[in-house]
Each structure stands twice: as C-alpha cells, then as structure tokens.
Amino acid sequence: MRAYEYKSIQFFAITFLISSVISFAAAYISFQNTMQHLLLPLILGSMSGPSIAACIMLVQSKNQNLWTDFYSRLRFDNMKIPFILGVLLFVPSLIACAIILSCLFGQSLDQFTVSGQVSDQALNGFNCIGILITLLLSSSLEEIGWRGYGIDSLRSRYNLWQTSLIFATLWSAWHIPAFFINNGYFQQELWNLGYMHVVIYFASLYLLTILINWVYVENNRSILIAILFHMVINFSYSLFHLQLPTKIINMLLLWVVAGIVVMKNKRLFFTLPKKLL
C-alpha cells in the first residue's frame, strides 16, 4: 500500500466551517434568555469540529494504515510517566510562580483564592466534577482532531517548529467566534477586561502549542497525553482569576520554558520528520 498523502487544507476547511457555524449559533443563543439550556451543547458542538473533520478525512482516505495509526495513538501505554506528572504539575506550578512574582509589583496573594463561581454561563449549576467532565469532553473533542489528524497533516510538509507556528495561527483564528458568545463566556470575559488580556491570550496560545506538540511527539504521538495537557491548561486558567501583571509574568515564564524546550530539542523542531505513514 502506497504512502498516505495528508490533506491539511481540506481538514482545516471542514473544521472551520463546522465550528464557525455552530459557534455563531451559540453566540445567538447566548443573547436569548429562554434558550440558555442549548448553549452548552452548542459550545461542545463547535469544539467537535476538529474531530468531525478528522473522522471525515479518515473515512475518505480508505487507508487501513491511517486507521491503524490513529487507533494506536489512543493507547495508554504511549504515555510516559514522567511526562504525565509534568503535564499535571506544569501549568499549576507556572501559575503559582507567576502569582508569587507578581507580589513584587504590588499584586496580592489573594489570586491564589479559587473562585467560588463559574465564570462561563454555560457551566452555571455544575459542580467541580461536572466541570472536570465537561473540560475533559471539550479537550477530547478538540485533540482527537488536532492531534489525530491536523498536526500530522502539517508535519507531513513542515518541521515541528513551522508546524507549531502555522497551527497556532489557525488555532487562534479558530477561537475568534467564541468572543461573540455573550455574558461571561471565557473569551468574551477577556475582551471585557481589555485588549491586553486578549493579546496575552493569543500570544500564550503560540507558546502552549509548542509545548503541547513537543509532549505529543515525545510520547509516541499520543493523543491521550495531548488531551490531558489541554484539560489541565483549561482547568488551571479557569480556576484562578489572574490580574494583568500576573498574566504578563505567566506569559514571560512560558516564553522561557518554550525557548528552553526548543533549544534543547533543535533536531526535533527543525528537521523534517520521516514519513509518518
């Protein structure tokens, strides 16, 4: 069987079409007081765009090797224990360091206080377990598509550094419709806080992309560890309401860590990989 040729343009086009249509439907619903019960299903539906697109690409391929490779990357034994521990502890530790350092600039340790209210209106009424399950589901819906097909489709043409920059740009654009969802949804909350919060958010997406891709590749292209990392990121940044100076410090710390990772793994990031399939 000849090598499979990834179709990255088709994959991202389908992803953006599905996610954008459902996201703007969610934005409309968010302004309708009598239809709030539909908001969470629509938000999750918009996040399913990447995984639906990946399934379409897999079915269209009619390539058994592609299916086998996909299923193999859903196995738990692909994940390395040191990376699992690192994924669980990295972002919370980074946030803790940022909060402590922010005290040098007049910020308060009260930022360690966990908010008693959920900022996302779609999650109102959920307890901690419900929120974790929702975050796990949303992260899975994204990563099954992003790392199940999207990242590999880019890596079939570019090195990991180029792939990370291209994907981070696309991932940033993919998040834009969420800014139109009203009344407390995470992205619009950032917009209401001011443009600097939005700038830091998008800049951080580039750094997090580099780190998630590195963890993904170092764990035998494990989709599961990407899901875990994504969930921890979302949960950690939703748990604490950081002030602007703290967010800037957190972003700078991310720059340092991402820079160290890239410099210590130059061959991985700047060399074209062998054919994945």
Just list the catalytic residues. Answer: 142, 175
- How far does the chain reach from its first CA to its final CA, in angstroms? 10
CA distance 122 to 199: 24
CA distance 66 to 58: 7
- 54 contacts 148 by C-beta, under 8 angstroms: yes
Counted residue by residue, the chain has a size of 277
Nearest of 273, 248, 269, 220 to residue 83 by alpha carbon? 220
CA distance 115 to 238: 9
- 38 contacts 22 by C-beta, under 8 angstroms: no
